[in-house]
Amino acid sequence: MSEKISFQVGTNPIHIETGKLAKQADGAVTVQLGETIVLVAAVAASNAKPGQDFFPLTVDYREKAAAAGKFPGGYFKREGRPTEKEILTSRVIDRPIRPLFPKGWFNEVQVQSVLLSADGENDPDVLSIIGASAALMVSDIPWGGPLGAVRVGRINGRFVANPTHAQMAESDLDLVYVGNATEHVMFEGSAKEISEADFLAALQFGHETCQSIIAAQQDLARRAGKPKRAITLNVVPEEILAEAKALAGDRIVPALLTHRKLDREAAVKAVTDEVGKKLVEKFGAEKVTEAVLKDAFYYIQKETVRSLILNDGKRLDGRTFETVRPISCETGILPRAHGSALFARGETQAVVLATLGTTEDSQEFDSYTGGSNEKQFILHYNFPNFSVGETGRISGPGRREIGHGALAERSLEPMIPLKEFPYAVRVTCEIMESNGSTSMASVCGGSLALMDAGVPLQRPVAGISVGICTEHNDQYEITRYQLLTDIIGWEDAFCDMDCKIAGTEKGITGFQLDLKLRGLPHKQMSEAIERARVARLHVLGEMTKTISEPRKEMSKYAPRILTLRINPEKIGALIGPGGKNIKRIVDESGCEINIEDDGTVKIYSVAEEGMKIARQAIEGMTAEIDVGKTYRGKVVSIKEFGCFVEVFPGKDGLCHISELANFRVKQVEDIVKIGDEIVVKCIGIDDKGRVKLSRRAAMEERDKEMAKKA
């Protein structure tokens, strides 16, 4: 029997229903806002796979073209591999729900969300987060929810819950917020230089809005939820863990306090290998498996790192808690790139390239859920294995790379005046070395590369990550904590937060919060955001020592652009039958030419000569003869009463015999012959469009100019 619950979020109702679809799943719900509907189903395996030593959670979101009444693009007319939108939505569902599963439970769990209906106005990503929480709540799967989720916009200074795509076009904030009953759990999005105070107010607004969503799920779980299943947690046997701690002794601390990453890894591995051999000798290989040894030393390292931070006030690389690692920047490092930069922060290093193209190079994609289906600014992030000194499978970008690239992209985009800048822009971030927050290094390097390319960035953008190490009681209330500016990889692994904030000197442009905790109180979050502001200003100061504003000149290898305006009625003539005319101009000039419906013609060319050829050809085919202007034309025919002069290809006018000279002319041939080039001035156009030209007026105008110069 199905159960349905409805509640208000802002001015719009949301409906959650369970028990009608996907009834063989452990938990399944549909969530509806407007006419956008998603189905979310959750299933957990009955047992962990033999030898499983991690929690295998898979979250997958998919869009169906039929949901929007469309056919998929492509030859097969069937949905293929997940799009970037689907991958990013999968990630935004995964990140808040993952920390709420029991630690040490290794049964495989799959959470799948399918878009069933799309109205083109309400985005399904927030609905999918709510659906994942609700599906897990009504299931028998052990999980520490519920969670509420909302998109927060700001229009004319007022926060709006779950704005439509049309409303988002007017918003200076795009915040996806997830919270529980008392704390912040996850956020991500972008803004147009929002202040820290306003950002915190947006988080508070999102948190308050989520409370009705949480209450509705609790009510639904009471009415339709299954009893939670009994589970067995995989933990390291107490006697093995105690012996491992005793054998590691005091040696683990100096190993962890080795400042350089690779040296630290080698020192810890040496201790691990030695202790592992002794544990096998004492307890036997059957008890001390590779998985048991891995878990034991993970626990020892985690406990030691947290003790060093909270009890001894020490970080692994010797910095204070507020210190940003040393920064170095270079620009113009690659000769053929339109813009390039090297940004390094400690042992994190990114080479970033900026490429300018025509607007035809903008990325187009199928959009079933509304919003734009074209991107003029693209940022791609690549994380090769060598950046962490490892080997591994070499393939296309994974979910992590797409997620990091999206964060860097939305952090930089608010500062690029794309409406006024007639280029498509691509930034490519190649991570050369990684030890903490490569996505924020990509923001910094991307900002440098864009300025090096001459992109008119309104202000430089930088980003930094802030972590936290906490202690809490049995009720998961934080009793002690320490914030960590510019976290390194080991602090990310063994501590509790990765809060990335990017922006300019004026405000925040991009943000993303990942927690290993069940949630973080507003007080600690506000302190982290202030810590990020101070660090960001420091990073910006270091960056501006290298380059502080966009270069005035673009690379000689970047395409130049010339914009012409023609009469829209002349577009057909310019293109020609079957594109004959425009193809000829492109072939002769080597330029790329874009023609818009309003008569705007954009010519892109690296070569100045090619630009000149294209301009002359286009103007010749489309230009109008204006009264009062002077032209150089060719005499194409001679009559008794005057001559016809071709000013533009196919456009001529009559120069009457009385207008050939400032004296009486007996015969036209006394002054001009067919094929002569002469300067004429347009002195009128009659009602039938016939052009009147004057050589005499052009000569008089020339004489006046010469007299002025004399």
Q: Give 400-416 pLDDT, tens digit per residue.
A: 999 999 999 999 999 99
Structural domains in the chain?
3-224 (3.30.230.70), 238-310 (1.10.10.400), 327-544 (3.30.230.70), 560-622 (3.30.1370.10), 630-709 (2.40.50.140)
pLDDT at 520: 95
Q: Give 71-130 pLDDT, tens digit per residue.
A: 887 778 888 889 999 999 999 999 999 999 999 999 999 999 999 999 999 999 999 999
Asked if 88 contacts 22 with a C-beta cutoff of 8 angstroms, the reply is no
Is the per-residue pLDDT at 578 higher than 80?
yes
What distance in Å separates the CA atoms of residue 307 and residue 469, rounded to the nearest whole number? 9
What distance in Å separates the CA atoms of residue 348 and residue 345, rounded to the nearest whole number? 5
The pLDDT confidence band at residue 568, using thresholds 50, 70 and 90, is confident
Asked if 601 contacts 594 with a C-beta cutoff of 8 angstroms, the reply is yes
Asked if 450 contacts 416 with a C-beta cutoff of 8 angstroms, the reply is yes
Question: In sequence order, what are the beta bridge partners of 344?
Answer: 328, 349
Is the per-residue pLDDT at 205 higher than 80?
yes
Which residue, among 5, 8, 105, 124, has the nearest Cα to 48 in the 3D structure?
105
Any idea which of 229-238, 507-516, 539-548, 675-684 has the lowest mean pLDDT? 229-238
pLDDT cut 90: percent of the chain above it: 71
Any idea which of 292-296, 369-373, 468-472, 521-525 has the lowest mean pLDDT? 369-373
Asked if 153 contacts 173 with a C-beta cutoff of 8 angstroms, the reply is yes
3-state secondary structure of 597: coil
| String of DSSP letters for 256-300 | HT-SSHHHHHHHHHHHHHHHHHHHHHHH-TTTS-HHHHHHHHHHH
Predicted model pTM: 0.87
pLDDT at 291: 84
pLDDT at 610: 87
Is the per-residue pLDDT at 1 higher than 80?
no
Structure-token match 């943000």, residue found:
511
pLDDT at 285: 85
Q: Give 582-615 pLDDT, tens digit per residue.
A: 898 889 888 888 888 888 888 888 888 888 888 8
